[in-house]
């Protein structure tokens, strides 16, 4: 999911363009036998390269896979940098210190104790985002503590916990009830019995609620998420602390085996993966991870099923379509607009300000997926799929061409349908926004030279800043010798008054933008 302040157009440009021919930071995909990457608290780091006007710099560097903000994880190492034994030891110690205070097992034991307590003794510290056992009360006496935590509340952790709002690293945008219910109904209509939820805590929760309410709804869910707070509420077989940008299981082999068993159960039949990654993230590492999960599922298949694909729902903005299909050519985009609770921009039409740009990409044939007519979808018998009401079939394109839910217009010169706001420009010889400049690259974006946006909305603004910062920091560090790696890891207690204040400011900024 996108960060609200980031500006949709910027992400849109990035989504469709990628970094080729532009400037910023690109991830270097592994080619040939992999050199093991150095580790940060979030598992193996990724190799990045700075790109300036389409040209890669020669010196590449490792940085955190999960945190796009150096405030969250400041790992930096040049690819060719040799570290002294002392520095490696310091790094290892730091990585250990950053791990969650409790092991997965300890969390489960605490939970089992917690649910045995009488209602009046079941407390949740809102400051520390933690379920409290009587022994902990003293430590949290000054904090805001919620009492009488009911079984119903325990079953809805995504409502008990506040959504993380760290813009760049792991902003959490939770599904609106309507979208979440739609997904659960769809999964059950399609006959799935197991759902691998990758970064979808609220969907995981609703699947489990549905299953416990209706014994016939024989459907299981396993959540993989980097948000460690969820480990307080789930047994080891229904939650793994996981980084989806490098396929890292924080609890090692035990957790990996949980995931493997889940995918391979019943020879891999009846399982689907549903993912809603933060879309400030890079598509490439996500695609690599998903391919690893697919491979894990495939290992459990019988020979005669070898041409089958693991069914997947990848929830992402529509303008990433070409990038996603580059990695997964069998994926198609549904017109369904996914709505979020805590994201005003993406709430459904009438209540939110804009329509949601978030869609579902899937390898399930689109004709099997029924979209709700009462929410403005209709079946196109020519395309054999459900589309938005406004997405009218174009007889020239022979498709329902709209991507954004509005009616698009056919341009006979471009021989395709284009956004309603575009007009054909005889100088550029294609359709574009009316106030575009026809003078070629010089007039494009100051940062990357692309024509379709200005500096202020350049998708590479953040990444190019990060690159410069990274390089500056590295220079600083030389004089500072070893004073690196000082960030806190994923701990449960990281809310503070200032954090909450920042959150309010951000919300304000975002609502007023
Ligand atoms: N719409 C979903 C939530 C999507 S928000 C729902 O309602 O269920 C993105 C989710 O991905 C969050 O739960 C966040 O904690 C998780 N996430 C962010 N970065 C991650 C990473 N590197 N690895 C795994 N999960 C991550
Ligand atoms: Zn990290
Ligand atoms: Zn507390
Ligand atoms: Zn057309
Ligand atoms: Zn045109």
Structure tokens at 162: 């506040």
When pLDDT is averaged across residues 450-456 and rounded to a whole number, the result is: 53
Residue 503 has pLDDT above 70, yes or no: no
Q: Do residues 404 and 263 both lie within one domain?
A: no
* Whether residue 426 is found in the same domain as residue 379: no
Task: Check if the beta carbon of residue 45 is closer than 8 Å to that of residue 39.
Answer: yes
Final residue before a domain boundary, out of 406, 435, 464: 435
Query: Is residue 476's pLDDT more than 50?
Result: no
Q: Which ligand neighbours the alpha carbon of 197 most closely? A: 1
Domain assignment present for residue 467? The answer is: no
Q: Which atom of ligand 1 is nearest to the CA of 278?
A: 9
Residue 334 confidence (pLDDT) above 80 = yes
* Protein residue with least CA distance to atom 18, ligand 1: 170
Residue 465 scores a pLDDT above 70: no
3-class DSSP state of 94: helix
Q: Does residue 37 lie in a domain region?
A: yes
> Would residue 441 count as lying in a domain?
no
Q: Are residues 247 and 353 in the same domain?
A: yes
Report pTM.
Answer: 0.83
If asked whether residues 94 and 108 sit together in one domain, one would say no
Confirm or reject: Cβ of 229 under 6 Å from ligand 1.
Answer: no
Is the C-alpha dihedral spanning 503, 507, 508, 513 positive or negative? positive
Whether 173 lines ligand 1, by a CB cut-off of 6 Å, is yes
Using the predicted structure, report yes or no on whether residue 385 has a pLDDT greater than 50.
yes
Residue 59: domain span: 23-98
Q: Sign of the C-alpha dihedral, residues 68, 171, 326, 245?
A: positive
CA dist 367 and 502 (Å) reads: 45
On whether residue 446 sits in a domain, the answer given is no
Q: Could you identify the residue written with the tokens 């390269």?
A: 49
Percent with pLDDT over 90 in the chain: 63
Query: What dihedral do alpha carbons 412, 415, 417, 418 form, nearest 10°?
Result: -90
Looking at ligand 1, which residue's alpha carbon is closest to its atom 8?
A: 200
Same domain membership, residue 208 and residue 185 = yes
**Residue 462 belongs to a domain:** no
Q: Which of 265-274, 338-347, 451-460 has the lowest mean pLDDT?
A: 451-460
Q: Helical H runs in 306-442?
A: 321-327
pLDDT above 50 (res 215): yes
Domain boundary among 62, 80, 98: 98
Which residues touch 449 (CB under 8 Å, ≥6 apart)?
21, 22, 23, 53, 441
Does residue 267 have a pLDDT over 80?
A: yes
Provide the pLDDT confidence category of residue 345 given band limits of 50, 70 and 90. Answer: low
CA dihedral 477, 478, 482, 486 (to 10 degrees): 10
Atom 11 of ligand 1, nearest CA residue: 199
Atom of ligand 1 nearest to the CA of 180: 7
Pairwise CA distance, residues 267 & 128, whole Å: 41
Domain identity same for 33 and 137: no
Q: How far, in Å, is the centroid of ligand 4 from the Cα of 14?
A: 25
Protein residues within 5 Å, CB atom, of ion ligand 5: 411, 413-414, 424, 431
Say how far apart CA 419 and CA 408 lie, in whole Å: 5
Task: Indicate whether 9 belongs to any domain.
Answer: no
Question: What pLDDT shows up at residue 237?
Answer: 97
Q: Which residue has the least CA distance to atom 16 on ligand 1?
A: 199
Output the pLDDT for position 507: 35
Q: What is the CATH number of the domain that holds 199?
A: 3.40.50
Quick check: 487 pLDDT over 80?
no
Q: Between 325 and 435, whose confidence is greater? A: 325
Structure tokens that stand for 379 in this block:
């079946």
40 shares a domain with 65: yes
Q: pLDDT higher for 35 or 248?
A: 248
Burial of 501 (0-12, 13-18, 19+ CB in 10 A): exposed
What is the position in ligand 1's atom list of the atom closest to the CA of 42?
A: 22
Does the residue 513 lie in any domain?
A: no
pLDDT band at residue 12 using 50, 70 and 90 as cut-offs: low
Are 355 and 337 in contact, with CB atoms under 8 Å apart? yes
pLDDT of residue 477: 44
Instruction: Say which ligand is closest to the CA of 409.
Output: 4
Length of the chain counted residue by residue: 513
179 and 281 part of one domain: yes
The pLDDT score that the predictor gives to residue 328 is: 98
- Whether residue 128 has pLDDT greater than 60: yes
**Ligand 1 centroid from CA 161, angstroms:** 14
Q: Does residue 199 line the site of ligand 1, with CB under 6 A?
A: yes
Residues 291 and 426 in one domain: no
Under 8 Å between Cβ of 15 and 320: yes
Of 389, 417, 452, the position where a domain reaches its end is 389
The per-residue pLDDT for 6 is 36
Work out which ligand 1 atom sits closest to the CA atom of 200. 8
The answer to whether the CB of 243 is under 6 A from ligand 1 is yes
214 and 299 in a single domain? The answer is yes
What is the average per-residue pLDDT within 175-186? 96
For the cut 70, the answer to whether the pLDDT of residue 485 exceeds it is no
Ligand 1 contact via 244 beta carbon (within 6 Å)? yes
Higher pLDDT, 303 or 412: 412
- How confident is the model over 356-369, as pLDDT tens digits? 899 999 999 999 99
More confident residue, 500 or 138: 138
Q: Does residue 199 sit in the same domain as residue 305? A: yes
Does any ligand 1 atom lie closer than 6 A to the CB of residue 242? yes
Number of structural domains (the chain) is 4
165 lines ligand 1 (CB under 6 A): no
Question: Ligand 5 centre and the CA of 426: distance in Å?
Answer: 9
User: What was the pLDDT predicted at 352?
Assistant: 43
CA 418 to ligand 4 centroid distance, Å: 8
Point out the ligand 1 atom lying closest to the alpha carbon of residue 227.
Answer: 15
pLDDT tens digits, 74-105: 999 999 999 999 999 999 999 999 998 899 99
In a domain, 75, yes or no: yes
Q: What is the SS3 assignment for 408? A: coil
Q: Out of 202-211, 289-298, 339-348, which region has the weakest mean confidence (pLDDT)?
A: 339-348
Pair (409, 385) in one structural domain: no
């Amino acid at each position: 999911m996108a960060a609200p302040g980031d500006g949709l157009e910027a992400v849109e440009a990035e989504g469709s363009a990628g970094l080729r021919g532009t400037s910023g930071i690109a991830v270097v995909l592994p080619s040939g036998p992999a050199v093991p990457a150095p580790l940060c608290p979030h598992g193996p780091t990724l190799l990045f390269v700075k790109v300036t006007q389409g040209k890669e710099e020669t010196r590449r560097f490792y940085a955190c896979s999960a945190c796009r903000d150096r405030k969250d994880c400041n790992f930096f190492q040049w690819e060719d940098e040799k570290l002294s034994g002392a520095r490696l030891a310091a790094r290892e110690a730091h990585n250990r210190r950053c791990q969650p205070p409790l092991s997965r097992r300890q969390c489960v034991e605490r939970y089992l104790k917690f649910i045995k307590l009488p209602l009046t003794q079941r407390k949740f510290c809102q400051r520390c985002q933690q379920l409290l056992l009587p022994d902990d009360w003293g430590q949290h006496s000054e904090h805001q503590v919620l009492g009488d935590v009911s079984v119903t509340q325990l079953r809805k952790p995504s409502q008990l916990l506040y959504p993380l709002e760290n813009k760049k690293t792991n902003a959490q945008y939770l599904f609106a009830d309507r979208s979440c219910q739609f997904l659960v109904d769809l999964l059950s209509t399609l006959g799935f019995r197991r759902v691998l939820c990758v970064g979808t805590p609220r969907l995981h929760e609703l699947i489990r609620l549905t299953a416990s309410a209706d014994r016939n709804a024989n459907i299981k869910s396993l959540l993989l998420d980097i948000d460690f707070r969820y480990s307080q509420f789930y047994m080891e077989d229904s939650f793994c602390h996981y980084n989806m940008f490098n396929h890292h299981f924080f609890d090692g082999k035990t957790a990996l085996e949980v995931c493997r068993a889940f995918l391979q159960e019943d020879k891999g039949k009846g399982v689907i993966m549903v993912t809603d990654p933060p879309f400030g993230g890079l598509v490439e590492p996500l695609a690599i991870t998903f391919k690893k999960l697919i491979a894990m599922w495939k290992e459990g298949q019988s020979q005669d099923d070898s041409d089958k694909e693991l069914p997947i729902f990848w929830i992402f903005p529509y303008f990433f379509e070409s990038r996603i299909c580059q990695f997964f050519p069998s994926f198609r985009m549904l017109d369904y607009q996914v709505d979020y609770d805590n994201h005003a921009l993406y709430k459904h039409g009438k209540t939110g300000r804009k329509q949601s740009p978030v869609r579902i990409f899937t390898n399930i044939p689109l004709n099997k997926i029924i979209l709700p007519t009462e929410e403005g979808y209709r079946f196109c018998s020519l395309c054999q799929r459900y589309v938005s009401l406004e997405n009218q079939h174009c007889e020239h394109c022979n498709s329902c061409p709209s991507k954004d839910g509005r009616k698009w217009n056919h341009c006979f010169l471009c021989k395709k349908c284009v956004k309603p706001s575009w007009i054909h420009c005889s100088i550029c010889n294609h359709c574009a926004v009316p106030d575009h400049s026809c003078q070629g690259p010089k007039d494009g974006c100051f940062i990357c030279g692309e024509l379709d946006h200005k500096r202020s909305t350049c998708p590479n603004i953040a990444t190019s800043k990060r690159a410069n910062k990274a390089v500056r920091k590295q220079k600083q560090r030389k004089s500072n010798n070893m004073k690196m790696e000082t960030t806190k890891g994923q701990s449960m207690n990281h809310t503070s008054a200032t954090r909450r204040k920042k959150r309010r400011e951000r919300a304000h900024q975002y609502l007023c933008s």
